[in-house]
A and B are shown apart, each in its own frame.
Chain A
């Protein structure tokens, strides 16, 4: 890391409002990345051939290159990694075309995920900003295990989808009941979820640190979710108690 060791001033974008990072912070972030259990599965080396970037959909529209991301990690360019974690990593479309093509078996898309996880762990403001539109999805996911619900798809939220999605004029609940699969007669989840299922899933979130991630990125959402799941647990326990009686 000799090329980086000469930097003594905090690292940061001179025109951004983000706090600059100290040298210790940069090392801590890179340490977390390298210690990630998947890091060695996703990065084997790099020929700098650029096949990953040539095929990358995000590279068509953003200042983003999977080759650059891999190079930053291979060369352990701490300030470059930190800089990429501010914005570039969120451009990736997660298609894994890069991984399928890389002659070295690298997975640039997989490395991006490790960087996103790390950005969240460190509560980076950029991650918080980028994930604001995800609030409803996260709420649905944590409390039900579904990630999308019919009543989330409103004309206001998806105006660019046009008027044809409402070809048949009828209330949403009637249209849903007209689907011939009974599990899908729902409007606030994609399918009816067993209460036991959502409680089991919540236990997984608790045991795997996902709730900590949520609390770091959106404390208000964490509070709402916690209250809701406490109520669900009470409700299920009451049902279990009734069975014993």
Chain B
């Protein structure tokens, strides 16, 4: 068993060393495919993070009628908190709101002598942004509620963009994965063609199909893994440079949530590369390595 394993490993190593140009072709193919995959993945990760974070900034502002006493406001706050969709309810008392307004317009107008025209306000956040319109609709029907500002239109647009980004991204990544599979498959097929003599001799002496095919599969794993490591380094370098350049152009981007963590890229792309390489090599070996 160990002898056979050593044979398989030595065959893999010999092939990796001897068919240099083929290895370069296969590794660079895997690398290009994984760079595309990694770049799209990074962009999607960032867009998804933005799409996820934006709706959290939306919340419903519930203005009560001016004459509603404080105890009824507090009772309504409790009622809203009891709703299963609601994550948090914050009371902004009319006194506090009026003080803030006075401070904000202190330079322009003196509001100190005027009576407080503002009502109590409740700021409502739901667990998921999609639940917000439903909660707002229910609150509008309440007798003590004067107005509900739910910014439904904006929220729906953001949610639609987030959905579009996910679907387009998913389709794009699927297509890239498919093309990466075909490219690596062809590279492994070329390796098999280049090693027809070894395959034939192994088949003639009675080596099992597993023994004959395994070096090709390991070769595919190594090619995919190397391509993945190269791709991860290049994607991270590229993302770093692009990010710096864009931040210089548009400083507001700094406020956006961070992109994919470097460790995810460094481990993810080589792992995907190894899996893809192994899968393609297995597929090609099954198809082209016969013992007849």
Q: Report whether chain A binds chain B.
A: no
What is A's interface to B at a CB cutoff of 8 Å?
A: none
**B interface residues, Cβ below 8 angstroms from A:** none
